[in-house]
């Protein structure tokens, strides 16, 4: 497959990838689409009642909540996201989430520059 073959994908035909941290599944699965300088991810997170691990990365990240509700903490500020909400996470900002909907949450994530790997 050459680079031109990578510019088109059908979301319905993409496989889900379970996210694992330290070899352990964490209730997150993604479908990832990569462009040359950015990537887009469809993400589903199960409701666990717990916060995700605080982390940071060099990428600017945009989160669009498609369904469900969650709390997004960026640095020391908490944002309450529901379907249709969007938020931008600056590069290197410490952030984490907590799903508040018992049905889980589905987000669309955009990373610039492209984030290598799944998590």
Within 10 A of 97 (CB to CB), how many other CB atoms are there? 22
Return the pLDDT at 4. Answer: 59
Global pTM?
0.89
Return the pLDDT at 2. Answer: 52
**Residue range 8-33, pLDDT digits in tens:** 889 899 999 998 876 667 899 999 99
Alpha-carbon distances of 7 from 3, 39, 115, rounded to whole Å: 7, 11, 16
**Residue range 94-113, pLDDT digits in tens:** 999 999 999 999 999 999 99
Residue 21, preceding peptide bond in cis (omega within 30° of 0)? no
């Amino acid at each position: 497959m050459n680079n031109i073959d990578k510019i088109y994908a059908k979301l319905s035909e993409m496989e889900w990838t379970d996210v694992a941290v330290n070899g352990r599944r964490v209730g997150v699965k993604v479908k990832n689409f990569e462009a040359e300088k950015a990537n887009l991810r469809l993400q589903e997170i199960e409701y666990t009642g717990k916060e995700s691990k605080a982390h940071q990365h060099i990428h600017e990240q945009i989160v669009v909540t498609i369904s469900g509700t969650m709390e997004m903490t960026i640095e020391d500020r908490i944002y309450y996201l529901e379907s249709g909400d969007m938020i931008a996470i600056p590069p290197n900002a410490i952030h984490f989430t907590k799903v508040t909907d018992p049905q889980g949450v589905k987000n669309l994530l955009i990373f610039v520059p492209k984030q290598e790997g799944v998590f």
